[in-house]
Structure 1
Amino acid sequence: MSKSKDANAARAVLEYLNRQNRPYSAVDLFNNLHKEYGKTAVVKACESLTEGKKIREKVYGKQKVYVADQSQFPDVDDKEIREMDTRIVELSTQCKEKDDQVKRLDAELRGLNSSITTEEAVSQLQQLVEECEACNQKLKTLKEGGRTVSPEEKDRIYSARTKYVKEWRKRKRIGNDILGAILEGYPKTKKQLYDEVGIETDEDYNVLPPNI
């Protein structure tokens, strides 16, 4: 890496440590600077800044951490520290209240976004009113014994009934003829055949084709 890039890395590390004023390892600095500089460059920057006494190095076993030179900061008395601690608590409480407020507003926004618009609500209401009026009119007609089926519709229904009853009788007769032919060579009873094949008859359900 060029000297200019090394210098930039050193300057970025120094500014970050002075701004945060808390200890970091070289890896932490590498990540916190968004990997803008290579890990090797950050390590070299920490070492050169330590040698120049611009930052301080602390060794904990095999781990090295770096912190800003505290001599550059003014002394803070105990009273000021307590005031700062109190202020931190106040700000933390305010921050939590704001977070809760944001969550409530987000939930309200999601609810509003999922709701229908006023125009859609008016349209749905009008549709329901029309359906309700139609149902009330039909109910009134039924209560008064009025004719609700036209002669044409009645004839169509009766014609369909006749057709389906004839088809029912026809298929029942064909089925009985086939089963009768099978039973002629079947060694068991009709009931056993029906049970074995899984045949269900109209008689099993007490139904018969209606009269035409």
Structure 2
Amino acid sequence: MPKPTPLQEERLVNEFLVRTNRPQSVTNIVDALQAAPTPLKKAAVDRATASLVARGDVTLKEYGKAKVFITNQSTIDVPSPEERAAIDERLAQLEAAAVDGQAAVASANAAAADVYATLSDADALARSTEVKVQRSELEAKVASFGGGVVLSEEERAALEQKYAEVMDTWKKRKRIVVEAVATISEGANKKPAELYEKIGIETDEEAGVNMKDMPPALKPERKGRKRGRGT
């Protein structure tokens, strides 16, 4: 089997770090890549990690004699607390607008049905005109929600999907940091709290946010099939 080139070595190491997305020592990388089609020795991993760190694709953390490598996390777009709060507020407005809009439509439909079911032709015509005026007022009121813009079902679904992605990213990022600090603290013989302070990591508590206080992300609704009664 031909010996891999330096670029191939870097690609194998970088793909492993991206795939695992957690701190790895050189020993961990070597052991994991022994099952690869082209196993790498320690010297090759040392060369590859040095090149990846120099290029900025990988971050090196040193704590005493312990060295760990992790794929660069700075490219991940994580919303700020202000952006998350804005999304929460917008979702609350949409929920309120949807409830009010549904109630307004139901009321107008019920009034129209009552008109045509119980009144004479003359009274029905007068009542119909009154209902149309009320309906126009209700439609104007519904349109006032959200700064004069009523979102379609597709736009609302897209906003809810964005919120779900934000929450998922937050959870993954938090898990990565917790696991990374745990790995590093074990190798450096330090408490996680000491590393948080030394590295400058701001916890959720320090930022004044709590994941448990955030509204749950809505799951996409599945359209079920209606079953007819058997004979």
Query: TM-score with structure 1 length normalisation?
Result: 0.35
Q: Whose RCO is larger (CA < 8 A, sep 6+)?
A: 2
Query: TM-score with structure 2 length normalisation?
Result: 0.32
